[in-house]
Structures are given as C-alpha cells and as structure tokens.
Chains A and B, each alone.
Chain A
Amino acid sequence: MTEEYDVEFVEREDREARFLVRGVTPAFANGIRRAMIADVPTMAIDTVRFVENSSVMFDEQLALRLGLVPLTTPPVGEFVEDDTVTLSIDVEGPATAYSGNLVSSDSLVQPADENVPIIDLKDGQRLEAEAEVVLDRGKNHAKHQGGVAVGYRHLQRVEVVGDVPEFEEPDERIVRGVIEDDGELVPTSEFDHDLTNRYPDQEVAIEDVPNAFVFHVETDGSFTVEELVTRAAETIEARATELEEAVQL
C-alpha cells in the first residue's frame, strides 16, 4: 500500500460511530466489515432449563427471546469458547418479565438492555428458568452478532467547478455519507443530504476518493464500537497467522 494508513472519527458514541479509514483496499475494508458482523465472539444465552413456565408462550419461544437479549461481553481472555455463565430468572404474575430480571452468576456478563419485555405474565402465571450463557460467533447464530448495520461508503470529494447560469433552476443533488470539502470532513446530514443547500448557485463535481472508506458501525450493546472494531481486526490477524502457519513447509 503506497498511501498512508489513517483513521479519523467523524461521529463517536458508545454504541454508534462513523469513522474514516484511509489507505486500505476495498477488499480489506470489506474484510473488516465481515469480521465485525460474523467473527467477533459475544455472549448469549444458548441453553435454558425451565423450572416452571405457565405463561402463554411455549418454552422454546421463550428460549429464543432470552437468547436474543444482548449481554455484556467480558474483556478478551476472560472467557474461552467453552466456558459458561448461568443466568436465572424468576417472575410471578401479574407482572411482565424483563431482561433486567435476569440474575447473573458473573458480574462481567449482564443484560446490556434492562427493558426488553420477555413475557407478559397474568395472575397466577409464573416463569422460573435457568439459562446457560456461551461465547460464540455471529456466523453460527445471529444472537452472537455484536455489530448491527455495519457498512461503509467511499469518501466523496466535492469541488466547486463554476456557477449555475443565472436563470436556470438547479436540480437537487443528493449524496449520502461523508463528503470532503477542502480537506474538511462534513457528514451529509448537516445539509439534509442535498448539495444544493451547501453550495447554492454553484456547479459542483463529486468524485470517490480512492482507498478512503467511511464506516458506519453500531453495536447491540455487547461492547463499545472501539472494542468491536479492534476485536474484528484481531480476528483477521488470528486467521492470517493461522494461514501462515498452515502453509509453512
């Protein structure tokens, strides 16, 4: 790669971020995206033992709902793929059982969202269950997918090339993502995705900046965006190392 590798944040929150990566090939950008979706292990409920379920839903339906609740994933190295954590839930109606009612045996593994309704319990109904949590990857089950709606677009460079003729009605010019204007990064949401709002009465040219990609990453709450991206890069490295060792003479 001739261009220098560089990362710059455009928007940054705990669970959602937009950042620019320069100096990577389209293949590598897609590799990172796929690793974020399918290869970063997260904790999720996998087996449920029902002690009592007199609710209106079947055991397996509730087990699926429990599995989809995002759980905080401990730091790398704390758990390996066969370790388990037990969560238990015991709610008696009339009440609604929420993900926040899950009691964990390990403080590192907790429901990331407390307000997900699991099941509405009527008078006299009861849900009591014990669930086993395992570490696994998104490629095996969507409940282990830590990154949601992960995608990227080319960075687009906008240049003013002239004026619109005085009596011509300009058409709207819709772009989405992030534009580069004189080296400054501007999210298109700032001007309602329409270039004629930012450059009234001016003729502009747009071009894709080669090897510069703007990633939009959201997580389900299992970890922060930073952690998701670094762990995704680590899984690529681990697989590359594995390949290198496998082809050694």
Chain B
Amino acid sequence: MMVPVRCFTCGTVVGEHWEEFDERANEGEEDPKEVLDELGVERYCCRRMLVSHTDLVDVVSPYQ
C-alpha cells in the first residue's frame, strides 16, 4: 500500500526517500544502486525496503 515508514530490520526511517527513489529509479532511467547510494540508504536491509516496494493506493482507491 504505502511505503513503510521504517526499515523492518534496523529501524532507520526510509519512507522519506521513497518519492525521490520512485521518480528516479522506477519512473526514470537511473540505476537503483546509484540512487540508493546518493540517498544515503546504505545497508541492504534498508535498500530492499525501497527496491521491493509497490504503491497500491491507486489500485485500491476505486473500490473505496
């Protein structure tokens, strides 16, 4: 649904980076690895939070 606020494993706040990551790596053409490095999302536990996320708000909102 919405991006998790914190990393499940270590507790770092990752939600604030979602919009920029989505714009640059998912919508845009940039390499996810480089975007995550630039955002300062260093550990792989935090990186998977953003890499594996899908926004579902647009998908479910018609059925509200």
| Interface set of A (CB-CB < 8 Å, partner B) | 54, 56-57, 61, 65, 68-70, 99, 113-120, 122, 125, 142, 145, 148-149, 218, 220-221
Contact = CB atoms under 8 A, between A and B. Distances in A.
Given A113-B16, A115-B19, A117-B18, A57 B11 contact: no
A142 B15 contact: no
Contacts of A122: 57, 61, 64
B16 A56 contact: no
Contacts of B33: none
A220 B2 contact: no
B10 A148 contact: yes
Nearest to B14: A116
Interface residues of B, number: 21
B19 A119 contact: no
Given A65-B2, A99-B16, A220-B12, 20 more contacts: A54-B64, A56-B57, A61-B1, A65-B5, A68-B5, A68-B6, A69-B5, A70-B13, A113-B13, A113-B16, A114-B16, A115-B16, A117-B2, A117-B18, A119-B2, A120-B2, A122-B61, A142-B6, A148-B7, A148-B12
Given A56-B64, A117-B18, A142 B2 contact: no
Contacts of A119: 2, 57
Contacts of A61: 1
Nearest to A65: B5
What are the 8 tightest A-B residue pairs by CB atom distance, in nearest-first order? A68-B5, A115-B16, A148-B11, A116-B15, A120-B57, A149-B10, A116-B16, A122-B61
Contacts of B18: 117
